[in-house]
Structure 1
Amino acid sequence: MPHPRLLEVTARIAGRSAASRRAYLDKINRMRDAGPSRPTVSCGNLAHAVAACPDDEKKKLTEGAVANIAIVSAYNDMLSAHQPYHAMLDHVKGAVVDAGGVAQMAGGVPAMCDGVTQGQPGMELSLFSRDVIAMATAVALSHNVFDGGLLFGVCDKIVPGLFIGALSFGHLPFVFVPAGPMPTGISNSEKQRVRQDFAAGRVGRKELLESESRAYHSPGTCTFYGTANSNQMMLEMMGLQMPGGSFVNPGDGLRPPLNVAAAEAVVALSAKQGRDKIGLGHMVDEKAVVNGIVGLLATGGSTNHTIHIVAIAAAAGIRVTWDDFADLSDLVPLIARVYPNGVADVNAFHAAGGIPFVMRELLAAGFLHDDVRTVTGHDRLGAFNAMPAGGDDGMVWQAPPKAASDDTILRPVSNPFQPLGGLKMLKGNLGEGVIKISAVKPDHRVIEAPAIVFEDQQDMLDAYKAGDLEKDFVAVIRFQGPKANGMPELHKLTPTLGVLLDKGFRVALVTDGRMSGASGKVPAAIHMTPEAAEGGPLAKVRTGDTVRLDALTGDLTLLVDDAELAARTPAARPDADVTIGRDLFATFRTIVSGASAGGTVFSFPHMEDTQ
C-alpha cells in the first residue's frame, strides 16, 4: 500500500490541479475522439505526406490499415549521447514495420551539449533550448498524420523538451528510446582530482585535456549521474521507456532488442482506437509525476529536475510546487550513491541492480504509486519493473535483484545512505531555492560566513587567481536567473570551490543560476527565486553581509536587519551581452517564468497563476 504521506502529497497536487488537469484532458480527449487523422485529411495532404515512402508502405498508409509512427530525433554528432541515433534510425523503422506499422522520420530537434558550453556564452541558451525543442517537436508532429511516436533523446534539456512537445499531442502514445551511456573511461573521482589540480595550478592544460578525453571518449551518455542520466531514471520511474534499458551501452548486444521492444510497444498502443487508446497525456497523471519526483530524491538526481518536472507537469495540466518536492524529500530515503554523490558511475550502478532495484525497493516500501499506466501496456508499475538480459532466444525480462551486488552503490530502503532524499528546499529572507545534499558531507551542510558578491562567475574565478579567496566565505553570484541571462549552469566554479573546501575553508555558493546535475561536495543554494533581475533579495546583498545556510533545516538567511534590508536599493542589472546567438532570445528573457514555476516561456491554459 502507498505510504500515507505519499498519498497526502499526491492528493494535494491533484486538488490544486483539478481545473487545469480537467482542461488538459478535455483537450486531448477531443483530439482522440475525433479518430485517426489520415482518413480525414485531403487527398493532396495525404499524397504529400506519403510521397517519399516505398510503394508497399504508401499503400498501407493510404488505405489507413496500419499505425503510422512518428520518429522525432535529437541526433547530432556534437552530443556523444545522441550520435548513436544515426545508426539506430533505420533499424527502429524496420522494427516498426515488422511489428505491423509504418514509421516516418517526422522531424529533428536542436540539441546542444551542456558539456561543451559549460562556462561559455552558449550556456545562456541552454535552458531556453528546452522550450525550443518542445516547439520543434510540435512542428514535427503538426502534419497530423500519425498514430503514435518514438522520441529519440537522452540529454539535459532534450528529454524535457521532447516530453513537453509530445504532451501537446497527448492523445497519442509515445515511447522514449535512449541510446545508453558510453563505457567507463577513467574514474569520475580521478577526473575530479585532475580538475582540482588544474584549478590549483598543479597541472597544465595539456594534462587536463588528456584527463577529460579519457573520461569522455566514445559515443554514449556521460557516465556521471547528471541531468542526462537523471532524465533516463525519471522516464523509467514514470513507465515511459523500456524497463531496465536506460543504462545499456550503445554497443551492448541488448541495445537492438530493446529498440525492437520499444517499436513493438508503440505500435501496440497505437493500434487501439477510440476510448481504448491511452495517450501520453493519460499516462502522465499526478501519480506518475510523483513517481518521477520520488525517483529523483531516492537516487540523488539532478537539481535541474526541480525546474523540468514542474514544467513537464504543467504541460499536462498538473501543478507541482517546490513544497511538494520538500515534503517528499522528508519521506523518501537516499538509497543510491552514484557520482557525484558517490564513487561509482552509472555503468556500475546498472550492474549493481540499477533502476529496477531502486523501483522494487520503493514500491515495496510504499514510496511509489503502483497503479499507473505504462508503455508496455501494464497498468501496474510492479508488473512493468524488470531488467533485460540475454537469453538463448534473444532478450528476456528478469525480475530485479533482491539484493544489490554492491552496497556502496545501492542499498535497501531498510538501510539507506541517509533517511532523507538527495535534495532539500531552502527558504528565508533571500527567497527560496534548492540544494543538493547527497554529495555534501554532514559537517559542511551548515555554514555561516561573510558574503562576497559577484555579478559573474568569471569575476569569482579572477578573485581566486588573485589570492583573494583564501578564507571562509559564501560566494553570492547573482544576475544568473532566467530573465537576466537564461539561467546558465555555473558548474565551472566547482573545481575552484572544491580546492578551497579541501584546504579547510568553509565555503558555499548562493546563486539564482543553476549548478547542474553535476552538483558536488560544495554546499550550493541554487535557483534562488525571485531572481536578482526581478529585484529579488539577492540584488540587495552586499559583500561583508553574513549569510547562514542550514541544509538540515532548509533555512537560508541574510543576517541583516529587516528594516535595513528593505531600505537598500537593489543593485543594477548588468547589460546583457547579445553575441553568440543570445540576441535571438531577448523575447524569451522578457517573458520567462521564475525557476520555481519551471523557467518556461509557455503559458499553459489555466496555469497563469504559477508563472
Structure 2
Amino acid sequence: MPLHPLIEDVTARIIDRSAPRRRTYLERMRQAAAEGPRRAHLTCGNQAHAYAAMGGDKNTLTDERSPNLGIVTAYNDMLSAHQPFEGYPDVIRAAVRKVGATAQVAGGVPAMCDGVTQGQVGMELSLFSRDVIALAAGVALSHNTYDAAVYLGVCDKIVPGLIIAAGTFGYIPGLFIPAGPMTSGLPNDEKAKVRQKFAAGEIGRDELMKAEMASYHGPGTCTFYGTANSNQMLMEFMGLHLPGTSFVNPGTPLREALTEYAAQRAVCITALGNEYTPVCDVLDERAFVNAMVGLMATGGSTNLVLHLPAMARAAGVDITLEDFDAISSVVPLMAKVYPNGLADVNHFHAAGGLAYMIGDLLDAGLLHEDVTTVSGKGLSAYASEPTLKDGTVAWAPGPRESQNDRILRPATDPFQPTGGLRQMAGNLGHGMMKISAVAPERHVVEAPARIFETQEAVKEAFKAGEFTSDTVVVVRFQGPKANGMPELHSLTPTLAVLQDRGLKVALVTDGRMSGASGKVPSAIHVSPEALDGGPLAKLRDGDLVRVDATAGVLEVKAEDFDSRTAATPDLSGNGHGVGRELFEVFRQTVGPASSGAGVVV
C-alpha cells in the first residue's frame, strides 16, 4: 500500500525543518564512528581499570576483537516494572559469552515510580528525572569501553531519558530489552470505581488499600495503558525492541529466552560484526513519525507529547505539536485499553497486540516500512510475534485478524476515525487533550472558571461542596519552571465524581495529567506556562472559558483580558523539601512544554 499522502507530507515537513540540525548531528556521529571501536583509544592503564573486576572475561576484553556490551540499567526493587531487571545482567553476560563477547554493567540510572509519588511532593522531581536519567546514562557510557549498549528501562521518564542518551551516543548501536507487564489483577474499571467512592467519602481507606493492592500485585509493568506501556509500544514502532517482545510477562520461559536473544543480537549489530546498526540510523525522521502514528492508533499517553520532541531533538530531529495534530487527523483509534476501555495490556496482547496493529497500519499505508531497526529488517518484521520451540526463539507471522474486536479493530473499522490526541489553541495558549477516553458529548465545555494554584485546593473545594454547577477547573503555576510540572492525576477521581453527578466539567492546566488520565476533558501542558508569561496567569474566577476539543479551541471570553495584570504566585515553598533544592537549576533553565520541557536538549 502506498504511504498515505498526509503521512508523507508530515514526514517531508519534519525532514525539511530538521535538515540543519540533523545534518550536523549525523556528521558528528559519522566522525565518531570512523574512529573505530572505542576501546582502541584507551591506554593500557585505562583498560586495566575497566577490566580489573571482570575475572575470566579479561582475556576476551583485551583482545579488542570481541564486542563488549555496556548495560545501562534502571533496576530497583521499588518500581514493579523494573524489579525483573535485577537478574538481567547475569543473563546477558552468560548469553554473550556463548558468542564470544562480553558485557559489563556500565552504570545505573534512577527510576521514579509516578504511582508512588502521585499527588505527593516527590512528583515535582518526576519530569526532571528524565534529564537526570539521560545525564546518568551519559556518565555510564563515557568510559568509552563499549561497542554497543543495551538499555534496561520501561517506565514513564526512564525510556525517554535513555533514548536521549542513546541518541547522544548515536554512533554506537543500542538495543532496548523490556521486562513485560505484570499479570492481570483487579480489573481497572473496578479499581477506578473504588477510587471514586473513596473520593466521595463512601468507603474508608482500608477498602481503598485492598483494591489498590489487588490491582498492583506483582513484578512487571502496571497493566493499564499509561505512559509505561505507551513507551513499550514506541520501542516496537521505532524498531528499538526486537519484534513482539514488549508485552511478554516476566518470569516466563519466553521472557528469559528473549532476553538472551536480544543480548546476542546486540553483539551482531556492533561495528565488529557484519550488521553495524548505530542508533543514529534507527532514530531518523521516519522512526519518529511511526512513533506518533502508534501513539494515535493506540490512544497512548499524553506524556509522550512532551517526551517525543525531547527524544527527537537528541537525534537532530524537530517535531512540533502541529505534527501530532496532523497525524491524529488521519490515524484511526484501533485499540480500547484502559483508561479508554475495560481491557488491560495483557488482553490487548492476547487480542493480537502490536503485531496485528503494525501489520494492519502498514497495509493501510499509515507507517513507514523502509526504516532501520535493531532486528536487521524493516518494520514489517514487527508484524510477527516470537514463539519458543524446543528452547529456541523463532518468529512467526502475527494474526491478520483481531482476536477480540471489543479491544482491537482494523484501521478500516476503528473505534473512531481519528487518533486519541487533539491540539488545543486560543487566547489561553497552546495545549493538548487526550480525547480517546472522553465521551463525545463532553468534547465541548463552556462554563465559568474556578482558579486554583494547587491540586490540594481543588480537592478541598470539592469536600466543601463548592462545585454545584458546570465548571472549568483551572490549575495554574504547575508548569516546569514553577514546580517541575507534576502530574495532577489525583484530581481525576474528584472531577469524575462531579461529572457523574451530571455536571459538565473540564480541567485546564499548565501541568501534566497521567498517561492514565481518563474520562474528564483535560486541556493540559498549556504553554506558555503561567509563570513564564502565559495567559493562564490573567484568568479570574467566573471568567467564561471554552474548552472545545472538536474545534481544538481553548479560549476565555473576556473583553478586558489582554489588559489585565498577571497574578503573582507564592512559590516560596516549591524550592525545598524532598530533594527539590537540588533541582533549582533545572527549574531555571527548562524549556517550554511545547518543545518537550527539556533541560539537556
> TM class by shorter-chain length?
over 0.9
Partners of 1:449 and 1:548 within 8 A in 2 = yes
Give me the whole-angstrom Cα distance separating, in 2, the residues matched to 1:178 and 1:328. 27
* Distance across 2 between alignment mates of 1:128 and 1:519: 20
1:272 Cα deviation from its structure 2 partner: 4.1
Match of 1:416 in 2: 414
Does the Cα contact within 8 Å between 2:82 and 2:153 map onto a contact in 1? yes
Residues 277-288 of structure 1: pairs in structure 2 closer than 5 A: 277-288=276-287
What is aligned with 1:259? 259
| Identity value in percent | 55
SS in 2 for 1:432: strand
Aligned: 1:17 with 2:18: yes
Partner of residue 569, structure 1: 565
Counterpart check, 1:593 vs 2:591: yes
Q: Determine helix, strand or coil for the equivalent of 2:269.
A: helix
Deviation readout 1:82-131 (Å, 9 max, x if unpaired): 01111222012211222331000000001110000000000000000000
The 3-state SS of whatever aligns with 2:21 is: helix
1:488-499 → structure 2 map (5 Å cutoff): 488-499=486-497
In 1: Cα distance, 2:11 partner to 2:570 partner: 41
Aligned partners of 1:548 and 1:74: how far apart in 2? 42
Segment drifting more, 132-141 vs 90-99: 90-99
Superposition map of 1:206-217 within 5 A: 206-217=206-217
Partner of residue 158, structure 2 = 158
Write the distance in 2 (CA, Å) between the matches of 1:527 and 1:39: 46
State the Cα distance separating 1:396 from its structure 2 match: 2.3
Deviation at 1:576, TM superposition (A): 4.0
Query: What amino acid is the match of 1:167?
Result: G
Q: Is the 8 A contact 2:356 2:399 kept in 1?
A: yes
d(CA) in 2 for partners of 1:316, 1:184 = 36
Is 1:484–1:573's contact at 8 Å kept on the other side of the alignment? no
Which residue is 1:196 aligned to?
196
2:506 maps to a residue whose letter is A
1:485–1:576 Cα contact (<8 Å) kept? no
Q: Please give the residue correspondences for 1:315-334 in structure 2 after superposition, counting only pairs within 5 Å.
A: 315-334=314-333
Matches within 5 A, 1:12-411: 12-55=13-56, 57-272=57-272, 277-378=276-377, 380-411=378-409
Return the alpha-carbon distance in structure 1 between the equivalents of residues 257 and 277 of structure 2: 24
Aligned residues: 598
- The residue type paired with residue 281 of structure 2 is H
**Residues 273 and 253 of structure 1: CA distance in aligned 2, closer, same or farther (over 3 Å):** closer
Is contact 1:242–1:261 with CA below 8 Å preserved after alignment?
A: no
Q: Is the 8 A contact 1:445 1:551 kept in 2?
A: yes
> Structure 2: which amino acid aligns with 1:135?
L
* Offset of residue 384 of structure 1: 3.9
SS at match of 2:490: helix
Q: Distance in 2 between matches of 1:35 and 1:392?
A: 38
Paired residues for 1:523-542 under 5 Å: 523-542=521-540
| 1:304-341 deviation line (CA, Å, top 9, x unaligned) | 00010000000001000000000000010100010001
- Return the offset for 1:383: 2.8
What is the DSSP-based 3-state SS (H/G/I as helix, E as strand, rest coil) of the residue aligned with 1:450?
strand
**Structure 1 letter corresponding to 2:412:** S
Q: Distance in 2 between matches of 1:384 and 1:18?
A: 28
Contact 1:426 1:433 survives alignment (8 Å): yes
Distance 2:64 2:584 in 1: 44
Q: Distance in 2 between matches of 1:383 and 1:438?
A: 28
Tell me the residue number matched to 1:606: none
Contact 2:261 2:393 in 1 (8 A): no
C-alpha deviation, 1:232, in angstroms: 0.2
Note the C-alpha offset of 1:391: 2.6
Matches within 5 A, 1:426-465: 426-465=424-463
The alpha carbon displacement at 1:262 in A equals 0.8
For 2:70, the aligned partner's letter is A
The alpha carbon displacement at 1:485 in A equals 0.2
Q: Is the 8 A contact 2:358 2:382 kept in 1?
A: no
Other-structure match for 1:608: none
Deviates more, 1:90-99 or 1:494-503: 90-99
Conserved? CA contact 2:370–2:379, under 8 Å: yes
| Kept in 1: contact 2:545–2:554 (CA 8 A) | yes
Return closer, same or farther for 1:576/1:76 CA change in 2, 3 Å cut-off: farther
Distance 2:311 2:335 in 1: 24
Deviates more, 1:510-519 or 1:89-98: 89-98
For 1:548, the aligned partner's letter is R
Q: Is the 8 A contact 1:68 1:104 kept in 2?
A: yes
Deviates more, 1:570-579 or 1:197-206: 570-579
Tell me by how many angstroms 1:39 deviates: 1.8
Secondary structure of 1:195's aligned partner = helix
Contact (CA 8 Å) 2:448, 2:542: kept in 1 or not?
yes
Match of 1:4 in 2: 5
- The whole-number CA distance in structure 2 between the counterparts of 1:117 and 1:236 is 28
1:579: Cα distance to partner?
Answer: 1.0
- Shift of residue 575, structure 1, vs aligned partner: 1.5
Q: Is the 8 A contact 1:484 1:576 kept in 2?
A: no
Distance 1:576 1:422 in 2: 37
Does the aligned pair in 2 maintain the 1:66–1:271 contact within 8 Å? no
Aligned mates of 1:74, 1:416 — CA distance in 2: 36
State the distance in 1 between where 2:392 and 2:33 align.
36
Deviations 1:196-223 (A, max 9, x none): 0000111010000000000001111100
**Cα distance in structure 2, aligned partners of 1:580 and 1:104:** 33
| CA apart distance, 1:281 | 1.2
| Aligned-pair CA distance for 1:252 | 2.1
Report the counterpart of residue 607 of structure 1 in structure 2: none
Shift of 1:385: 2.9
- Contact 1:294–1:332 under 8 Å retained in 2: yes
- Report the residue type matching 1:237 in the other structure: F
What code does the residue aligned with 2:459 have? L
C-alpha contact (below 8 Å) 1:454/1:477 kept by paired residues: yes
Q: Take 2:247 and 2:273, find their aligned partners in 1: how far apart are those partners? A: 33
Contact 1:100 1:267 in 2 (8 A): no
Per-residue deviation at 1:278? 2.4
Q: For 1:120 and 1:285, locate their aligned partners in 2 and report how far apart those are by CA, in whole Å.
A: 37
Q: Report whether the alignment pairs 1:476 with 2:458.
A: no
- Separation in structure 2 between the aligned mates of residue 429 and residue 535 of structure 1, nearest angstrom: 13
CA contact (8 A) 1:245 1:258 kept: yes
Which SS does the other structure have where 1:347 is aligned? helix
Q: Is the 8 A contact 1:226 1:302 kept in 2?
A: yes
* TM-score using structure 2 length: 0.98
Q: Following the alignment from structure 2 to structure 1, what is the Cα–Cα distance between the partners of residues 248 and 268?
A: 24
Q: Is the 8 A contact 1:35 1:273 kept in 2?
A: no
SS in 2 for 1:254: helix
Shift in alpha-carbon separation, 1:349–1:22, aligned structure 2, 3 A: same
State how far apart, in whole Å, the 1-side matches of 2:60 and 2:382 are: 32
Tell me, in whole angstroms, the C-alpha distance in 2 between the residues paired with 1:286 and 1:259.
28
Gaps of 5+ in 2: none
Gaps of 5+ in 1: 604-611
- Counterpart residue type for residue 169 of structure 2: F
Deviation at 1:393, TM superposition (A): 4.7
Please state how far the C-alpha of 1:273 moved relative to its aligned partner: 6.4
Alpha-carbon distance in structure 2 between the residues aligned to 1:435 and 1:256: 38
Q: Which moved more, 1:575-584 or 1:196-205?
A: 575-584
> Against the structure 1 CA distance between its residues 252 and 470, is the aligned structure 2 distance closer, same or farther, given a 3 Å change threshold?
farther
One-letter amino acid matched to 1:45: N
Per-residue deviation, 1:257: 1.1
